[in-house]
A and B are shown apart, each in its own frame.
Chain A
Amino acid sequence: DGGITQSPKYLFRKEGQNVTLSCEQNLNHDAMYWYRQDPGQGLRLIYYSQIVNDFQKGDIAEGYSVSREKKESFPLTVTSAQKNPTAFYLCASSLDQSTDTQYFGPGTRLTVL
């Protein structure tokens, strides 16, 4: 089955530690995205990548980093510089940058203790 996966579903970390969230897709999509969602809020764009080995900052990139070494994978690292990292993180992909439809993974709920 084609789809987009994120792991783990729940993640706990101590303050000051970096943590990497996984996102994999087998839809052969060129574009991939990372969003952050806080309770009762909309989705805010952290980073996006329109092609392998290229990515751009979204609206709230500070304290985060990404890589896009493979088409299928777009991991997000939440660094210790992120002041308030506890949130629900969603990864999405689309066929290409001009496509209106994004497909979302199930999300990772990160809690920093």
Chain B
Amino acid sequence: GQSLEQPSEVTAVEGAIVQINCTYQTSGFYGLSWYQQHDGGAPTFLSYNGLDGLEETGRFSSFLSRSDSYGYLLLQELQMKDSASYFCAVVGGGKLIFGQGTELSVKP
């Protein structure tokens, strides 16, 4: 089967750095994606790791280690607008399999 695990909730203060971890068990793995979803809205794509290592896009970075079946999303210089749910998703077999999501709360 396929499964992903990520923390259900994370709280941080404005300006801080937060890391959201994701571990996975799957077959047919091509890569790991991250999506952001604000309450009541649609998920939006943040980043994708097809190879091991770090991908940086502005304040957001994502990391993948295939040997450890592990990845993380790093959010720097947190802003209030970053309060949202963050989902990791395994890419493979022509589809995405999503984790349960991590709800990030950014406090002033």
Does the CB pair B50–A100 fall under 8 Å? yes
Please classify how large the interface on chain A is, using the bins under 10, 10 to 19, 20 to 34, 35 or more. 20 to 34
A65 at the interface (CB under 8 A from B): no
Within 8 A of A (CB), among B79-108: 87, 91, 94-101, 103
Please classify how large the interface on chain B is, using the bins under 10, 10 to 19, 20 to 34, 35 or more. 20 to 34
Does the CB pair B96–A102 fall under 8 Å? yes
- Interface on B for A, CB 8 Å cutoff? 30-31, 33, 41-45, 48, 50, 87, 91, 94-101, 103
- Interface on A for B, CB 8 Å cutoff? 31, 33, 35, 40-45, 48, 50, 58, 90, 97-98, 100-107
Min CB distance A49 to B, Å, is 10
Known: A42-B87, A43-B43, A90-B42. A101 touches B33 (CB 8 A): yes
